[in-house]
Amino acid sequence: MRSCMPRRRMGPQFVQCRLRRHLRRGARVMFPLSPTRSSVAVVFIACTGATARAGLEGHWRLDEAAGATVASDSTGSYPGTLVNSAAFVPGGGVAGGAISITQAGNGYVTMGNVLPFASNQSFTISLWIKMQTNPAVNQFPLSKHTSGIVNGYVFGVHASGSYGAANRAWFYDGTFPGGEANSTTSVNDNVWHHVVGVHVADGQKRIYVDGVQEATNIQGNVALTAAPLMLGGLFIGGAPTSVYTGMIDDVQIYSEALSSQEIAYLFNNPGAIICRGDLDATHAVDSTDLNILLTDFGCTSSCSGDADMDGDADSTDLNVILSNFGEVCEPSPAP
């Protein structure tokens, strides 16, 4: 097969060549005879691709109606049950509704024993929290952890600073005190904050607050645990216990380590997800995304075809779309 032209000769002809080399069986593509950057058109016919979630394992939008008792997972796999004082607050979040939890009312949300990541698995946890000002006791907005032993993973905010500094968020992945990743931004101010923990397999852990990486540490031994995944709860003494007062919104868990650019995107676009190659926010990667890239190909700033979030639209963006073509990250958002 004739190879594609060198990368330094970028343009529609290069894109056509790369497409011909990557198209899956059952697809056809049509090009104009003399394409330009603004006129290249791609049409896929009878193209079949895998349906996948592209690393998004769970997404709890928390947009249910007041009085509902189940938090839907938009991937369809892990619904959560509201317990005691946990309640939906329609319109109260950063992206639609949110959930309110009070420790005095022993409130929490439990998804059951799900998503048991291990040390050799990369994962990312993203959520928005709005905490009461200067809580008197330690707070745990998300956990899959049995208290008292090294296991699982936790997001916490300690009032005393026994993990990290007082009133700063920290991310635990099976380490002893001092091994967690500790943020430098106070999150106990009754204001919404985006907090993200990233565990890199056989590497390190990272914590981000409001789109900015604030700390790293050596990754811990994420020993498997039968403790349930909970919002606002922690498994203490063999039972779920409420350990949070405040609000939580838009919880996302990925089975891969998101990049700093992707985490900044989540912060700047509350409620959005990372679906690599999806340029039109339909949560799927298809011919429309290819057409967006081809129309924008060669752009160097504020590009609609920037699939890899590096600021431009070029062959690396084409590779992102082709490698994910046909994937469905989650059901399309409501119009």
d(CA 169, CA 75): 27
Fold for 1-51+277-328, please state it.
Type 1 dockerin domain (1.10.1330)
pTM for the structure as a whole: 0.84
What does the pLDDT look like over 91-125, one tens digit per residue? 999 999 999 999 999 999 999 999 998 888 999 99
d(CA 97, CA 106): 21
**56-268 sits in which CATH class?**
mainly beta
Q: Is the pLDDT of residue 135 over 90?
A: no
What counts of helices (H) and strands (E) characterise the chain?
4, 18
What does the pLDDT look like over 51-97, one tens digit per residue? 334 489 999 999 999 999 999 999 888 999 999 999 999 999 999 99
Identify the pLDDT of residue 179. 81
Cα radius of gyration (the chain):
22
Q: How many CB atoms lie within 10 A of CB 276?
A: 18
What does the pLDDT look like over 154-172, one tens digit per residue? 999 988 877 778 889 999 8
- 293 neighbors 306 (Cβ within 8 angstroms): no
- pLDDT above 90 coverage of the chain, percent: 63
d(CA 72, CA 228): 16
- 199 neighbors 179 (Cβ within 8 angstroms): no
Higher pLDDT, 137 or 102: 102
What does the pLDDT look like over 200-235, one tens digit per residue? 987 789 999 999 999 999 887 788 888 999 999 999
Higher pLDDT, 192 or 18: 192
Nearest to 125 by CA among 249, 254, 282: 254
Q: Is the pLDDT of residue 245 over 50?
A: yes
Identify the pLDDT of residue 46. 33
Mean pLDDT, residues 288-301 taken together? 94
Q: Is the pLDDT of residue 34 over 70?
A: no
Identify the pLDDT of residue 1. 41
Mean pLDDT, residues 178-186 taken together? 89
Mean pLDDT, residues 148-155 taken together? 88
What does the pLDDT look like over 246-280, one tens digit per residue? 999 999 999 999 999 999 999 999 999 999 999 99
One-letter amino acid identity for 335?
A: P
d(CA 293, CA 303): 9
Mean pLDDT, residues 15-25 taken together? 50
What are the φ and ψ backbone dihedral angles of 288, each rounded to 5 degrees?
-60, -40
Identify the pLDDT of residue 33. 34
Q: How confident is the model at residue 183 (pLDDT cuts 50, 70, 90)?
A: very high
Mean pLDDT (the chain) is: 84
Report domain extents, the chain: 1-51+277-328, 56-268
| Beta-ladder partners of 55 | none
Residue with tokens 């600073």: 161
- 107 neighbors 248 (Cβ within 8 angstroms): no
Q: Is the pLDDT of residue 28 over 90?
A: no
Identify the pLDDT of residue 333. 57
Alpha-helical runs (H) found in 246-285: 260-268
Mean pLDDT, residues 187-211 taken together? 94
- Among the ranges given (16-25, 224-233, 281-290), the one the predictor scored with the smallest mean pLDDT: 16-25
Q: Is the pLDDT of residue 43 over 60?
A: no
Nearest to 59 by CA among 238, 261, 249: 249
Mean pLDDT, residues 173-201 taken together? 90
Identify the pLDDT of residue 21. 52
d(CA 54, CA 62): 21
